[in-house]
Structure 1
Amino acid sequence: MTTAASTARTADRTAVSRGVRSTFAIATGIATLFVFVQFFTSSEFIRVKGDGAETWQEVHGFTAYGVLVPALVAAIVALVRLRSAAPVLTWISVAFFVAAVGQWGSGHLISTLGMDGWTAFHIFFSSVVLALAVWASVRSAILRRG
């Protein structure tokens, strides 16, 4: 059954060019991939002892930028080009970027300043980032196919 609201949403989605939808989907996908890389690297530096743990911590810190940069690109694309066509997805992508910044910042408090009390906050933010990454990826796939 087609309603006026679903017809309007379809018209809004098709008003957004395929290139914009693809750019958003690619940026979101890359950021989501790096979220999973972050989970893997964190488990490795917790599991490994000695010098190997330090190496995994460095890799973990470096791969955080693989989340931040594409999440920022996705948020900008969403704010500039998708806001009217996909308002919920726009806010999801902005929240994803903000949560990723929170996770990155808390990670630096732990690793650079030795403030281990931020670990629980960092782990909480990783769960939020993962949830928002998956949500944004699924919604961007729906938008891209729309």
Structure 2
Amino acid sequence: MKKTVKLLMSISLCMCMIMTLFTFNIYAAADGNVKLNYASAKQERDCGVLKGWYTQGEISVKDLGDNKNVVVHYTTDGSTWEDVTATYLKTATDGYDIYTFKTPLCPWNGFYYYNYNCQFAIKYEVNGQTYWDNNNGQDYSVNDSNM
């Protein structure tokens, strides 16, 4: 019995380690003043123990002025929406400014199987105007699980 439990625990640990090698990415090809370049769900671990998930990504915004505000409007539970401010990274050769974002850690709830889902849209404010990239009204979504 103890050998079976140890074997199952070893297999589970190996599967978790293999899953961390893979990320699930989405790439957007939107045109306009703001567009998502990529986003992915990431796992945070401490000594191999799953702590939770977060979403990180990169956004391009057209340089329409100096005082830009780039925000990712997101939910991980489907009802409570939060905002995280994106950070300027660089100006690309095409003239767009590149911003990065990372949502706060969504802690693992301890269940054996848990599916992380983050839905989001991007808001770009400049010169008193607001521009959105919301994946043609469907919002973006990234997913990952602990299995």
Decide which structure has greater strand share. 2
TM-score (norm. length: structure 2): 0.28
Q: Give the TM-score, by structure 1 length.
A: 0.28
Specify which structure has the bigger relative contact order, considering alpha-carbon pairs within 8 angstroms and separated by 6 or more residues: 1
Which protein is richer in helix relative to its size? 1
